[in-house]
Structure 1
Amino acid sequence: MKKTLLTLILLSSVVYAVYAAKHETISAPATSTIKTAENDDEASADNSDDQMSADITSQNIVKMNFSSLVVKNFSFQYERVLVPKLSACLGIRFMPKSGLPFSGTVASKIEEDDDNDDATTQFIKKMDMGGWAITPELRYYFGRGNGKGFYAGLFVRYERFDLNSVYVYKDDNNVTTNIGFDGHYSSAGVGLMIGSQFMLSSRFTLDWWILGPYYAKPKVELSGSGFNLSDKDRDQLNENLNGIEIDFSSFKTTSVVSNTTASLKVDGGSLPLVRGFGLCLGFRF
């Protein structure tokens, strides 16, 4: 009896196992497919919700412009999304004291006479420059906005840089006098920036400054001392400095020279400049 009962139990177990295996083989793929589709939809919805949430709640972006490092500048920007299509930005740029960028190009624009030799050209090439700039900007985004996509921005820029160089004055007897000049360059301008900002992820952005033309009114003020010139050399130096002409603008150069001091000012014109090209990596929060 016990053997018969054990046999029936084993037989029932085998039949149930076979039935269960067949049922799983038939129904499992459909169930798996349904669950997979449901999971994909849920994941897609979650990702969409996360992105939308990031767009709505993450209205601040801090950025660094890596392309400015080429000209020895450290450039940063903070952007705040005000409404979907409008944002406000504040940029700040630092330049440690170093040689004047593109000094050879600037020097080539200086017109000199034969009497002045190449003293002014060398003065420009020897110049060191360092300082800062600040740039508020108001941006309008086309498309959906929220800090993404193509934009146009109206900006103003103020910058101030310290300058120093040495002017080598040569008298009629070829005796040279080194005159150290110190001062600053400042300018204020307004312009238009066009660019595009991409979301690399829900938190990281890439801001491409395509082109930012602007007009600025620069001004240079320099002063020198620590020398002692004769009256004749004083007048000659004053003539040399006043005779500097810049052939790409309406700048006017004026100088005041005494036997022991000298001052040089350059102003009076507006200059077309360009802000950009820029590639800024940002973090959104």
Structure 2
Amino acid sequence: MAAVVVWVAAEDNHQNKLIMSTRISALMLLLVMWCNAAFSQSDKWLGEGGSKEESYTNNVKLNISSWLLYNKTYVFSYERRINARQTAAITGGYMELPPLLNINIKDIDIRKNVSQSGYMFGGEYRFYLAKENKYAPPHGLYIGPYVTYYRFDNKRNLSVRDSAGNPLDLSVKTSITNFNIGFELGYQFILAKRISLDFILIGPSIANYTAKFKLDGNIDPESAQYYNQELAEALINRFPMLNKLLENKEVDVSGNGNVWAPGFRYAIFVGYTFGRR
């Protein structure tokens, strides 16, 4: 086993990620505005009136936007109406980070993703704004606090060469977590009185990122430092969220990395409402 300190000097891309997040949120906002204009002209889609009796108590939803970011993801949410203008929701599910097999890393051959797993869970409390909403919750514009927790575990087999050019078989285990406390703004449509279409448009947060790295194999410290540098940079390029954790940080690959940094959330859910009205 080799334990060395990796110095990651990746180019700062926080600004690029902020621009991308802003663009995605802007596109979602435009989509919400279009949906609102298109469906509000027909009562058969949005329901009749705005009284409490015409909305259902329960809302079960599937996160469809997570399919764009993660591998093998199944994330569900349950939202329940608390009173005339407030709801509470819990969210959870299984997800994996995409594999690294198709990434070209200098002098490293990732032979096999031995195992990978992950999950997330969270909760939120929503306030549906009475002055802005014609309909009863869970339909309309909302704001509120949220918390989320993510964990990803992976093990990969590698083939590298030591400083003398001899081939070596190694394995690397990674464990990554992300905890967020934030505040969100979104809009949820109820179509045909039953189908929910939920857009979390803006969700800034303060986030804690942690990572544990463990490199197993018979390798000298000099070679281990070089290969861990390459692996760390590859992880950053593939998963931008790790840039907050690893960029310009000293991370012991057999130890821990930990940092607090700004986070962001946006999501799209599709669901079904039911229960007492």
5 Å-filtered alignment, 1:1-285, equals: 48=48, 52-55=52-55, 58-71=56-69, 72=71, 73-96=73-96, 98-99=98-99, 118=106, 129-143=116-130, 144=133, 145-225=136-216, 227-229=217-219, 233-238=220-225, 241=228, 248-249=243-244, 251=246, 252-255=249-252, 263-265=254-256, 267-285=257-275
Question: Contact (CA 8 Å) 2:179, 2:208: kept in 1 or not?
Answer: yes
Distance between the aligned counterparts of 2:274 and 2:74, measured in 1? 20
* Structure exhibiting the larger radius of gyration computed from Cα positions: 1
Question: Which residues of structure 1 form unaligned runs of 5+?
Answer: 1-43, 108-116, 257-262
Cα deviation per residue 1:193-235 (whole Å; 9 max; x = unaligned)? Answer: 211111112222221222323232111113233x334xxx234
Distance between the aligned counterparts of 2:273 and 2:128, measured in 1? 18
| Residues 189/119 of structure 1: CA separation in 2 closer, same or farther (3 Å cut) | farther
Highest relative contact order (Cα 8 Å, sep 6+), 1 or 2?
Answer: 2
Per the alignment, residue 4 of structure 1 pairs with none
Question: Contact (CA 8 Å) 1:168, 1:179: kept in 2 or not?
Answer: yes
In structure 1, what residue type is equivalent to 2:54?
A: A
> Please, which moves more after superposition, 167-176 or 151-160?
167-176
* Partner SS state of residue 237, structure 1: helix
Deviation at 1:134, TM superposition (A): 0.5
* Partner SS state of residue 69, structure 1: helix
* Partner SS state of residue 53, structure 1: helix
Question: Contact (CA 8 Å) 1:205, 1:284: kept in 2 or not?
Answer: no
Question: Contact (CA 8 Å) 2:155, 2:171: kept in 1 or not?
Answer: yes
Question: Contact (CA 8 Å) 2:163, 2:222: kept in 1 or not?
Answer: no
Distance between the aligned counterparts of 2:100 and 2:206, measured in 1? 21
Cα deviation per residue 1:56-99 (whole Å; 9 max; x = unaligned)? Answer: xx311111122322333212110111112211110113115752
| Residues 187/50 of structure 1: CA separation in 2 closer, same or farther (3 Å cut) | closer
Question: Contact (CA 8 Å) 2:180, 2:263: kept in 1 or not?
Answer: no
Distance between the aligned counterparts of 1:193 and 1:100, measured in 2? 32
> Please, which moves more after superposition, 210-219 or 81-90?
210-219
Question: Contact (CA 8 Å) 2:52, 2:84: kept in 1 or not?
Answer: no
Question: Contact (CA 8 Å) 2:172, 2:214: kept in 1 or not?
Answer: yes
| Residues 150/119 of structure 1: CA separation in 2 closer, same or farther (3 Å cut) | farther
In structure 2, what residue type is equivalent to 1:70?
A: L
In structure 2, what residue type is equivalent to 1:131?
A: G
